[in-house]
Amino acid sequence: MPVIRVFDGDGFLTRIPIPNRGIEIEAGVRLGFIDAPELEQPGGQEAREFLCNQINERWVDLVVLMKMDTGQSVDRHQRIVAVPYLWQDHDQRQEMPAWRNIELEMILNGWAWVLDRYEPPEHYFDALEDAQRNRRGIWARDDNVHPWQFKAQKRKRRQTTNRVSPQQDLFSQKERAGKCPTEGCSGQLIERSGRRGTFYGCSEFPKCRFSRSIG
Residues with Cβ within 8 Å of 78's Cβ and at least 6 positions away in sequence, in order, are: 28
Q: Is the model's pLDDT at 68 over the cut of 70?
A: no
Q: Is the model's pLDDT at 82 over the cut of 80?
A: yes
| Domain end marker among 115, 145, 160 | 160
Residue 172: the pLDDT is 46
Average pLDDT over residues 197-201: 80
Query: In terms of domains, do 174 and 152 share one?
Result: no
Q: Is the model's pLDDT at 95 over the cut of 70?
A: no
Residue 174: the pLDDT is 44
CA distance readout (Å), 8 to 36, 69, 127, 184, 210: 8, 22, 21, 57, 55
Average pLDDT over residues 196-204: 81
Cα gap 111→131, rounded to integer Å: 9
Query: In terms of domains, do 194 and 116 share one?
Result: no
Average pLDDT over residues 119-125: 92
State the total domains in the chain: 2
Query: In terms of domains, do 99 and 201 share one?
Result: no
Query: In terms of domains, do 101 and 204 share one?
Result: no
Higher pLDDT, 161 or 58: 58
The range of the structural domain enclosing residue 151 comes to: 3-160
Query: In terms of domains, do 114 and 147 share one?
Result: yes
| Domain end marker among 139, 160, 181 | 160
CATH of the domain at 107: 2.40.50.90
Query: In terms of domains, do 96 and 196 share one?
Result: no
Query: In terms of domains, do 196 and 154 share one?
Result: no
Cα gap 157→163, rounded to integer Å: 10
> b or e along 64-83 (b: 16 or more beta carbons within 10 Å of the residue's beta carbon)?
ebebeeeeeebeeeebbbbb
| Domain end marker among 123, 138, 160 | 160
Query: In terms of domains, do 140 and 77 share one?
Result: yes
Query: In terms of domains, do 178 and 130 share one?
Result: no
Indicate the SS3 state at residue 61: strand
Query: In terms of domains, do 40 and 122 share one?
Result: yes
Query: In terms of domains, do 80 and 186 share one?
Result: no
Query: In terms of domains, do 154 and 180 share one?
Result: no
Average pLDDT over residues 123-152: 92
- Looking at the chain, the whole-number percentage of residues with pLDDT higher than 70 is 83
